[in-house]
Amino acid sequence: MTKKEKITVSNNGDHWICICNNNTMNSGFDTCDKNGEYIEPLADIWTGLYACLDCGRVINQETHEVVTRIKDLSSFGITVQS
């Protein structure tokens, strides 16, 4: 079993630093579903996942673990170069 990647969190959870070094003060993070598609953070559809807007890692806001990584950030209006 591989160890899960985890982002760094400081300032009582308000400041997130991704493994790629993107953080809350830079490109930041946005709410998404488990497939990495942007969704509004509405209680009935959103499960607490955020996507890093630089590298596409999808992060669980409770555990701060990286659950998956997406390549296509187009649903956030972002084009990523591979």
- 55 part of the interface to Zn ion, by CB under 5 A: yes
Shortest Å, Cβ 39 to Zn ion: 19
Contact between 20 and Zn ion by CB under 5 A: the answer reads yes
User: Residue 74 phi/psi, 5° resolution?
Assistant: -65, -25
Rule CB under 5 A: choose which of 49, 51, 52, 58 binds Zn ion.
52
54 counts as binding Zn ion under rule CB under 5 A = yes
CA distance to 1, 37, 80, per residue, from 41 (Å): 31, 12, 23
Collapsing DSSP to helix, strand or coil, 78 comes out as coil
Q: By CB under 5 A, tell whether 45 contacts Zn ion.
A: no
Binder among 16, 18, 32, 66 for Zn ion (CB under 5 A): 18
The CA dihedral of 61, 67, 71, 77, to the nearest 10 degrees, is: -20
Binding site for Zn ion (CB under 5 A): 18, 20, 22, 52, 54-55, 57
